[in-house]
Structure 1
Amino acid sequence: MRDPAAVEEALRGIDAISHQAAMVGLGDGVADAADYVGCNDLGTAVLLAAAARGGVRALVLAGSMVVYGEGRYTCAEHGTVRPGPRAEADLRAGRFEPRCPACGAALAPGLVPEDAPADPRNVYAATKLAQEHLAAAWARATGGSALSLRYHNVYGPGMPRDTPYAGVASFFRSALARGEAPRVFEDGAQRRDFVHVRDIAAANVRALEALAGSAVPPGTLPRTTPAAAPRAPCSPWPAPSPRPAAGPRRASPASTGSATYSTSPPTPRACGASWAGTPKSPSPRASPSSPGNRCAPPRPRRPAADAPEITRPR
């Protein structure tokens, strides 16, 4: 990604890009900050510069829901608030829910709308948001179109084992394959959205067709907790039920900034997105519709024979 000559060669004859390449991981500390920024942001800048020189004018970016930060919470007294990092003392005492930053009261978790303010809380999240800004700047400078799909936890065939990118889905699959009870952190009541890799592929094709220029968070599984999640991506392996691990979520203090609830509404942007179910994903999935097609009825879509050519630079 950071080799201009290699990227330029990969883009030869290409008129649209689906940009999936990135260094992924938890990104909790800063020791690897230069690597994250180099791979994700410098790599994206090299790609965009080559695209501009090559006349490419359509880009779909693999974004991430981590740009939203902790999530959306409501205080009975102060309304919608943005909680800060959780206190180590609360985690050790088994109090895992964030508190209101104004009064310290318990908060009610809610759904994060796609236009919620960005609040990246680790290096990886910051680089993913920077990628979006770079893509937007490229689109303005070239007259092209860019769209970011903010992925939730991706799972499905070919999912690497024990990788932080796929998160609990990959860890749970590996544990179930060994006949072990998956281990979840804290009390297992965190909320996450999951998306099947086939739906990610379909969403990218639809996005290339639409290029509406907005951020869409595709998620396909019903909103769930880590304690309940293993059965969806890992159903082929019978194994003991997940066991919550009491105590702090991680040994590192950086874990106090990790998201507890990270879920999106079931329908991203009623106007500008349509829904379609798949056998692998019993609940709907997000897929951008054509610009101006307001509230399009749900319908499955397959890549058209004349769909834009897509490349994944290496």
Structure 2
Amino acid sequence: MRILVTGGAGFIGGHIVEAAMARGWEVRILDSLDPAVHPDPPPGIPGVSVLVGDAGDPDAVAQALAGVDVVMHQSAKVGLGVDFFDAPDYIRNNDLATAVLLAGMAAAGVDKLVLASSMVVYGEGAYTDSAGRPVHPAPRRVEDLEHGIFDPRDPPPASCCSRHWSPKTRPWIRGTSMPPPNWPRSTSLPRGALNRKHCDRPPVPQRLWPSDAQEHPVRGVASVFRSALARGEAVRVFEDGGQRRSFVHVRDVAEANLLSVDALVGGRVASGCARAYNIGASEVHTVGQVAEVLSSVAGAPAPVVTGEFRLGDVRHITASSARAWAELGWIPKRGFEDGMREFAIAPLRGDQA
């Protein structure tokens, strides 16, 4: 098996490469080694071909695809970003680069792709009201957030806990309108200047923690907490710490990616068809719980709940992984407490062993 892992020097991609090598697969990496993400170039991996290049560069993609059986597309610009003015860079690194990759695959005759997405394509998604009917809350209002009202209330859901997307019942999910209304609030542009469009997007993988961490403006909350603890600072938690997520260990995510390759190669996903899977833990935890566990293991002061917020952050998001369990045979093996404890003592990226 010859696979190409875009972003293979990165967070999830590196664990996929490690797991694929353990299976005896032949691995090639295409990674730009962006200095903002990789200030120190990672060491080479014996037996792995590494091409330094951009997934949005047709020539680099064509070279990387030569002789490949399956592509695992992990390269992306992640997170909410610094502000909405960096949207063009997100479009170039994510949407355009994926289009370039797909065009290259078509030209090279490579027809098997495992594509990683992000939980944020759900936006605020759906809840249920007091009558059990699905409701789609509007983006949270600035005035509510400023007064410490963090749960959506337009329309008011019966319970945040009732939110649970399942790809079995909604295989394709209409993109919410979260970015358009948040853009003018963050840029002072009039809302009428923006077109509000909806599109179909696939379900997504959920939050995860790595075996290493690095401070970076767009990295996950667990990594930000971990970096604060390494500096001897108390963890600062936005909002009230009650944001719910499905935290899942990165090695479990890597295994899900490999099982997806098995499904493609084994014909369980028909040629020319797409199949979407949520990859997340079965248990839901809050951002506040992450801060508490990491602080406790580090022997640090209790987390500080600041009440601060960022426009564009999603309040709650969890999703059913039942389809992945049933069709891929994927079950997360690492629990929240054990994974967070492992993460709390793992060396930060760039530290010397």
Shift of 1:228: 0.3
SS of residue in 1 equivalent to 2:208: strand
Equivalent residue, structure 2, for 1:262: 317
Aligned identity (percent) is: 40
Aligned: 1:157 with 2:211: yes
CA distance in 1, matches of 2:231, 2:258: 36
Query: Within 5 A, what are the aligned runs for 1:1-314?
Result: 1-27=55-81, 29-77=83-131, 79-101=133-155, 105=156, 107-109=158-160, 110-114=163-167, 115=170, 117-120=173-176, 121-122=178-179, 150-165=204-219, 167-211=220-264, 212=269, 213-220=274-281, 222-230=283-291, 237-246=298-307, 248-250=308-310, 255=311, 257-265=312-320, 267-268=322-323, 271-279=326-334
What per-residue deviation string (whole Å, max 9, x for no partner) do you get for residues 76-127 of structure 1?
15722000012222222221111143xxx4541221223362324338xxxx
Residue of structure 1 in register with 2:183 after alignment: none
Gaps of 5+ in 1: 124-128, 134-147, 284-314
TM-superposed CA distance for 1:177, in Å, is 2.0
What is the CA–CA distance in structure 2 between the aligned matches of 1:50 and 1:95, rounded to whole Å? 47
Q: If each structure's strand is expressed as a fraction of its own residues, which one has the higher value?
A: 1
Cα offset, 1:27, TM superposition:
4.6
Return closer, same or farther for 1:240/1:234 CA change in 2, 3 Å cut-off: closer
Q: Partner residue of 2:184?
A: none
Q: CA deviation at 1:159?
A: 3.0
Structure 1 residues 13 and 235: CA distance shift in structure 2, 3 A: farther
Question: TM-score normalized by structure 2?
Answer: 0.64
- Structure-1-length-normalised TM-score: 0.71
Q: Within 2, Cα distance between the matches of 1:234 and 1:62?
A: 30
1:23-48 CA distance string (max 9 Å, x none): 22205854222221112121111111
Work out the number of aligned pairs and report it: 254
- Amino acid across the alignment from 1:178: R
User: How many angstroms does 1:222 deviate by?
Assistant: 2.8
| Displacement of 1:224 | 0.6
Q: Shift of the alpha carbon at 1:269? A: 5.6
Preserved CA contact (<8 Å) 2:128 2:158:
yes
* Cα pair distance change 1:31/1:172, threshold 3 Å: same
Equivalent-residue separation in structure 2 for 1:56 and 1:234 (angstroms): 46
Give per-residue Cα distances to partners, 1:255-286, cap 9 Å, x unaligned.
1x431110113534664242434346679xxx
Q: CA deviation at 1:192?
A: 1.0
What SS does the corresponding residue of 1:150 show, helix, strand or coil?
Answer: coil
Q: Which amino acid aligns with 1:220?
A: A
Of 226-235 and 85-94, deviating more is 226-235
Distance 2:321 2:114 in 1: 22
- 1:8 to partner: Cα distance: 0.5
Distance 1:28 1:118 in 2: 26
Looking at secondary structure, tell me which structure has more helix per residue: 2
Aligned-residue Cα RMSD (Å) equals 3.0
Q: Which amino acid aligns with 2:107?
A: R
* Structure 2 unaligned spans of 5+: 1-54, 181-197, 339-353
What secondary structure does 1:21 align onto?
Answer: coil
